[in-house]
Structures are given as C-alpha cells and as structure tokens.
Amino acid sequence: MHEAHEALETYKKKDVNKVVVRFKAVGNAPIMKQNFYKITASNRFQAVIQFLRKELGWKQGDPLFTYINLAFSPAPDDTVANLFKSFSTDGHLIVNYSTTAAWG
Amino acid sequence: MLTRSDFDQACKAYVDAHRNARASGVKDYPAGWIWTEHPYVLNLGYLSRTRHLSGTPHPRTDVGEADDFNHPSVEEDDAVWHSTEESLTCNQYVVYSATFGVPAFYFTLHDRSGSPLALEQVVQSALFRPNTLPSPDGNTFAVTLPHSAFSLLSQGDHPTLGTPSWYLHPCNTAEVVGEIMAEVEEGRTNLLRCMEAWFMVLGNIVDLFAGE
C-alpha cells in the first residue's frame, strides 16, 4: 500500500515539474524584457510556441520559427521534458526564435 | 550565399557528419543522405535519399453498431494490415540553386502504383508538418503565400536529373540562414554548420524524420 502511494506521488510530481526555458532572439526578432521562463515539463512544445506568440503579441498568421540550440526545429508534439532531457545546457533549454519569413 | 564549390564541400561534410540516424532516436540532424554527381558533367552534384511515408488512409466504412444488428462488435485488430493505408515513396533531393546561391529542396512523391500525388495530397501528406502550408485553394501546380512574389511550393525540373519534381522556393533562404549563422558561436561558422542551419530552417515545414 505504501509503495502504491509512493508511486502515485512520483507521477503527481512529474506533472508539475517545471523546467527553465531561455528564449533567444535571432536576427530582427523582437527581444523580450524577460527571457527566462519556467514551464511545466509535461507540456508539448506547441505550448511553448503559443506562449512565445502571446508574449511577443504575434498573431497566428505572423511568421514565427523556433529552434533548439540553433540546431534543429522541434516538432510541436515533442514534450518539453524530452527536449530538456536531451538538449538542455547549464540547466536551461535554449529556444531561439526568428520572425523572418523563410519561404516564398 | 554559397558558391557551387562551397555547396559541394558543405554537402560532403554533412554526409560524413550525419551518415546514420542517431542510435538514441534523437531527431536533430536528418541523416542518410547520399552525394551523387552527374556521370560526365562537373558541378552538378546533389544530395539524395528515399523515404517511405505512410499515406493518408482512405476513409474506412464503419463496421456498424453492434446493437443494431444483434451481432457481437468486430474489434479492430492492430496487427491486421489495412490495405487502404498507402505507403508513399518520397525521393528527396538537396540541389544547388544557381540563381540564389543557396541549397534548395526538391522532392517527388508517388503512391504504391507509381503515380505522382496531386498537389492537394502532397500538401496533406506526412512529408510536411501539419498546418505549415497554406491550402492550394484549387490550384494544382503551386502553393503561394498571400503577398508573396514567388510560389512557396511549385513544380520544376531537377537541375541535374531533369525529372519533374516539386520544390520549395529558395528566395528567402539566404537571408534566413544568414541570420542564423550570425548567431552561431565563434569558430563554428563553417560550411558544415551552414548546411546544418539550412536543414534546421527546412525542418520547420518539412518533416525530415518522416518515414524513418
């Protein structure tokens, strides 16, 4: 019974575990006053993109591209937890963002 | 902006650096590209690879509610191969665009019988990340963003093979990759890094790990 309780507690903890994300502007993208944010790890990366859009005041159609460590573009369904585990540096996950339209 | 010779070097360096997909399954740099040159004309080299994507399943007819027919409901068995689900062959190429001095992404997409897909199906296929391309809106040969001078996705001949392909228009590529290279840490602004940055930008709309 005690083990079951502990197991449940562990899963509960996972849900609220937050990780630090650091946003870094690329090119002419607007720079935010605050760059470090704590985000719940179980979120999908899509939530980070939406959060960034809101902070920048960028509407849905405006071009916004996000990258991890200037290495790759994460899929919106990747979880923040997995990205953090594989790519964090110095305790935070670097998310670069650009507003330059890449296509057309 | 890359010269043709820069492009050749960059591609070869990339092939060497990212020969195989990471054993850990981490999806950062798309791997498995092959460098091919024209059999007798110089300076027409390109990268290529083939991927098999799962196609959009045709709408399945419902089995029907068990209550209506007094029959036990048929359970969906995941082990059964659904013949309505297509496997698409996608040939992907990275070629040098002489006009813009940058790499450009060309591809073909065929179904199992070898027929090329129509634009509408291409846009909705697993090759592209969902909701990244605008709808073709009845156009059958190109997809264009509003207020844009060039089509984003249109048809053209592969520069070396001469075969009909789809390609993503590279006119903004130099600017975007340039911006990224400006942020790259000192001492790493080499051709390989440039190629990696290009794949990173491409990865925004093309799912470079589909079919792996």
Q: Kindly give the parts of chain B with pLDDT less than 70.
A: 56-85
Q: How many CA atoms lie within 13 A of B181 on its CB side?
A: 19
A74 assigned to some structural domain: yes
Q: What are the residues whose beta carbons fall under 8 Å from the beta carbon of B134, sequence distance 6 or more?
A: B143, B144, B145, B146, B152
Number of domains in chain A: 1
Per the structure, the complete domain to which residue A93 belongs is given by 18-98
A35 assigned to some structural domain: yes
A77 assigned to some structural domain: yes
Partners of A45 on chain B (C-beta within 8 Å) are: none
A101: its two tokens:
């339209």
Q: Phi and psi (nearest 5°) for A21? A: -115, 135
Q: Give how far Cα B17 sits from Cα of B10, B27, B34, B196, Å.
A: 10, 14, 12, 10
Judged by CB atoms closer than 8 Å, whether chains meet at A72 and B28 is answered as yes
One-letter amino acid for residue B111 of the chain: D
Give the residue, B188 or A80, on which the prediction is more confident: A80
**Domain coordinates in residue numbering, chain B:** 4-55+85-203
Whichever domain contains A58, its CATH number is 3.10.20.90
- Interval A87-101: pLDDT, tens: 999 999 999 999 988
Contact by Cβ (8 Å): B48, B36: yes
Q: Is residue A55 helix, strand or coil?
A: helix
A1 assigned to some structural domain: no
CB-nearest to A71 from B145, B169, B196 is B196
- Interval B48-92: pLDDT, tens: 999 999 876 333 333 434 344 444 445 555 555 544 467 999 999
Helix (H) or strand (E) holding B53: strand B46-54
A5 assigned to some structural domain: no
Judged by CB atoms closer than 8 Å, whether chains meet at B171 and A104 is answered as yes
Closest Cα in chain A to B185: A70
A103 assigned to some structural domain: no
| The model's pTM | 0.84
Query: What is B4-55+85-203's CATH topology?
Result: Yope Regulator; Chain: A, (3.30.1460)
Contact by Cβ (8 Å): B84, B58: yes
